[in-house]
Structure 1
Amino acid sequence: MKRPGGPGGNQPSLDKPKREAILDLSKYVNERIRVKFTGGREVTGILKGYDQLLNLVLDEVLEEVADPQPHTRSLGLAVLRGPTITLLSPVDGSEEIANPFLAQEQ
């Protein structure tokens, strides 16, 4: 006969409430997104899948490389690890602007 609380004890089982995702990525599936990582790497690609740890699967991935000259490098299909992501944003509807806090050179 099994005891309440699991196989080895008298402790009652506690049902933990399900954690809700902070970010709802479902509306960005099959959309191009930009991802920045710790360390400064940056990629754009089409979101194909994700999990609750924010691991992402992107297709048609382009990495922006700033070696001596800025250029892009095609990576194809890639799995991005969630813990390394620092910023995630849609590409459509956003544009890069000049930093208003930098001192204007005259």
Structure 2
Amino acid sequence: MADRGRGSARGGAARGAGGGSRGGRGGAQAVSSSAADKPKREAILDLQKYMNERVRVKFTGGREVTGVLKGYDQLLNLVLDEVEELLQEPEPRTRSLGLVVLRGPTITLINPVDGFTEIENPFAEQQQ
């Protein structure tokens, strides 16, 4: 009675002998040669020229920080030092954050601070 419900109805005895040799889950699989021959993908942005330079970073949602770029990866996660967050509300001010790691998927804009001049938006409505 203890064996009732087991066996070929569930595939236990029928699969047991040859299940591993057919390349099922957990079996060793050969690496395709086309995957090994592909050249390494290059990053879209070359941030190397901005290393140890001050950069401004804007995020989805409107937050903005400036800091010295210390590192990055292929997902555009950034490490910034001497970071200051620019807060707009209730009044414009800055907040010092120190060393931070910024997640790449949340970043919308990266630009160097040197040579950057803010201009008025020509498309904004003129207030009279």
Q: Which amino acid aligns with 2:40?
A: K
Which ranges in structure 1 are unaligned for 5 or more consecutive residues? 1-6
Match of 1:3 in 2: none
State whether structure 2 residue 79 is matched by structure 1 residue 57.
Answer: yes
Counterpart-to-counterpart distance in 2, 1:93 and 1:56:
21
* C-alpha displacement of 1:96: 0.7
* C-alpha displacement of 1:39: 1.0
Counterpart-to-counterpart distance in 2, 1:81 and 1:45:
15
How many residues align? The count is 99
Cα RMSD over matched residues?
A: 1.4
Counterpart-to-counterpart distance in 2, 1:43 and 1:103:
26
Counterpart-to-counterpart distance in 2, 1:68 and 1:105:
21
Structure exhibiting the larger radius of gyration computed from Cα positions: 2
Higher relative contact order structure (alpha carbons within 8 Å, sequence separation ≥ 6): 1
* Divergent runs of 4+, >6 A: none
State whether structure 2 residue 29 is matched by structure 1 residue 8.
Answer: yes
State whether structure 2 residue 69 is matched by structure 1 residue 25.
Answer: no
Question: For 2:49, what is the secondary structure of its paired residue?
Answer: helix
* C-alpha displacement of 1:105: 3.1
Deviates more, 1:12-21 or 1:44-53: 12-21
Counterpart-to-counterpart distance in 1, 2:84 and 2:108:
17
Match of 2:118 in 1: 96
State whether structure 2 residue 98 is matched by structure 1 residue 76.
Answer: yes
Match of 1:43 in 2: 65
- TM-score (ref. length: structure 1): 0.86
- TM-score (ref. length: structure 2): 0.72
* C-alpha displacement of 1:17: 2.2
Counterpart-to-counterpart distance in 2, 1:67 and 1:99:
20
Which ranges in structure 2 are unaligned for 5 or more consecutive residues? 1-27
Q: Which amino acid aligns with 2:45?
A: L
